[in-house]
């Protein structure tokens, strides 16, 4: 009987505390940024939030080649992961923005994505009973665009992922990766030439490179060239980091490859996919000549870069 009463009490306590927990006010920029990230209030017609395209379950990326913005419009590039942004020196595939806080304002005013001019966004939040108070409590001033960008960036800075088989293996846990994954790592480092571009803890040197997808056709995405107007940058894109890449299909700036295997087949024999690339990097000029087993091993290794929270149970 004692035990039953105790159980009842505990349940009552839990039920009582749940709504309180849910409505708890954000107390830090990151907590406020999290609210904003998931709130469609930042889009013109209140239908799209950052999370509409950067979905938590897909490592804050999307499963479509091109994502859906307001009024059924499609983005012109594939949505990249918004995780592991903390060490990036610039943002977007063409690197046109230098800070995460500045980046966060771009999708809000982008007419395809959220379509809300920043002054309107600020006015909306300032009129909203809760946001008005939260911004005042956390930033000690009325809502402004700097605080808006700062809060969203603060949330994104929390999205670092380092609980992966590859990280554990590097830290000395020899059983963390399978034999195939360990062989795949060697291919990544040497025969596959992957590491020449995908290096550093997040598997990107943050350089702009041309992997041979650009042909100079009228509709082709010129990449970095749009920013620099330097013809040497035609078809160059920011090397994407590869953490959690197994859950962020489809791949490349235009989402043209549906699977990691397709990406690997591409790097192995680019000529089978794109006939006359313009300005392709010397690293992708000659075929890799990977065997079937090597391709399987390399793909298995890419799966070892997936954080535990996304590993299929």
* Residue numbers at the binding site for ligand HEC (CB under 6 A): 42, 48, 50, 52-54, 67, 69, 75, 77, 79-80, 82, 85, 91-93, 103-104, 107-108, 113-114, 152, 156, 192-194, 196-198, 209, 211, 213, 237, 239-240, 242, 245, 248, 251-253, 260, 263-264, 267, 281, 283-284, 298
Rounded to an integer, what distance in angstroms lies between the CA atom of residue 148 and that of residue 256?
34
In the complex, minimum distance from the CB of residue 213 to ligand HEC, in angstroms, rounded to a whole number: 5
Rounded to an integer, what distance in angstroms lies between the CA atom of residue 229 and that of residue 224?
8
Which CB sits closer to ligand HEC, 138 or 239? 239
Which CB sits closer to ligand HEC, 52 or 166? 52
Which CB sits closer to ligand HEC, 31 or 196? 196
Rounded to an integer, what distance in angstroms lies between the CA atom of residue 81 and that of residue 76?
16
Residue 63 Cα to chain centre, angstroms: 12
In the complex, minimum distance from the CB of residue 192 to ligand HEC, in angstroms, rounded to a whole number: 4
CA angle in degrees (0–180, nearest 5) for 80-85-90: 85
Which CB sits closer to ligand HEC, 108 or 304? 108
Q: Which residues contact 70 (CB under 8 A, 6 or more apart)?
A: 43, 44, 45, 47, 48, 112, 113, 114, 115
The sign one gets for the Cα dihedral 251, 253, 255, 261 is negative
Which CB sits closer to ligand HEC, 138 or 159? 159
In the complex, minimum distance from the CB of residue 231 to ligand HEC, in angstroms, rounded to a whole number: 17
Which CB sits closer to ligand HEC, 85 or 138? 85
Which CB sits closer to ligand HEC, 138 or 222? 222
Residue 100 Cα to chain centre, angstroms: 12
In the complex, minimum distance from the CB of residue 14 to ligand HEC, in angstroms, rounded to a whole number: 34
In the complex, minimum distance from the CB of residue 52 to ligand HEC, in angstroms, rounded to a whole number: 5
CA angle in degrees (0–180, nearest 5) for 254-300-95: 30
Token representation of residue 210: 């041309």
User: How many CB atoms within 10 Å of residue 267?
Assistant: 20
Which CB sits closer to ligand HEC, 67 or 166? 67
| 270 close to 277: Cβ distance less than 8 angstroms | yes
User: How many CB atoms within 10 Å of residue 148?
Assistant: 25
Token representation of residue 83: 């995780």
In the complex, minimum distance from the CB of residue 16 to ligand HEC, in angstroms, rounded to a whole number: 34
Burial of 215 (0-12, 13-18, 19+ CB in 10 A): middle
In the complex, minimum distance from the CB of residue 23 to ligand HEC, in angstroms, rounded to a whole number: 23
In the complex, minimum distance from the CB of residue 294 to ligand HEC, in angstroms, rounded to a whole number: 10
């Amino acid at each position: 009987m004692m035990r039953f009463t105790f159980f009842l009490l505990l349940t009552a306590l839990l039920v009582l505390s749940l709504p309180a927990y849910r409505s708890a006010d954000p107390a830090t920029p990151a907590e406020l940024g999290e609210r904003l990230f998931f709130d469609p209030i930042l889009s013109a017609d209140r239908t799209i939030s950052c999370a509409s395209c950067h979905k938590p379950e897909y490592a804050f990326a999307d499963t479509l080649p091109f994502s859906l913005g307001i009024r059924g419009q499609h983005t012109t590039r594939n949505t990249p992961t918004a995780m592991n942004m903390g060490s990036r020196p610039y943002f977007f595939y063409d690197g046109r923005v230098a800070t995460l806080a500045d980046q966060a304002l771009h999708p809000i005013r982008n007419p395809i994505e959220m379509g809300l001019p920043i002054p309107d966004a600020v006015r909306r939040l300032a009129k909203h009973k809760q946001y008005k108070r939260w911004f005042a409590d956390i930033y000690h001033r009325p809502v402004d665009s700097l605080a808006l960008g700062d809060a969203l960036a603060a949330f994104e800075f929390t999205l670092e992922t380092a609980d992966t088989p590859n990280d554990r293996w590097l830290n000395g846990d020899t059983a963390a990766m399978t034999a195939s994954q360990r062989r795949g790592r060697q291919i990544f480092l040497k025969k596959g030439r992957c590491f020449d571009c995908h290096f550093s803890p997040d598997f990107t040197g943050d350089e702009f490179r041309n992997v041979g997808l650009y042909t100079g056709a009228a509709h082709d995405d010129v990449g970095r060239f749009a920013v620099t107007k330097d013809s040497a940058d035609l078809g160059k894109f920011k090397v994407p980091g590869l953490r959690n890449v197994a859950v962020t299909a489809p791949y490349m700036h235009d989402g043209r490859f549906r699977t990691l295997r397709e990406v690997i087949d591409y790097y192995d024999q680019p000529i089978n996919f794109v006939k006359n690339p313009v300005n392709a990097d010397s690293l992708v000029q000659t075929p890799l000549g990977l065997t079937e087993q090597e391709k399987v091993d390399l793909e298995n290794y890419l799966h070892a870069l997936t954080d535990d929270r996304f590993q299929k149970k």
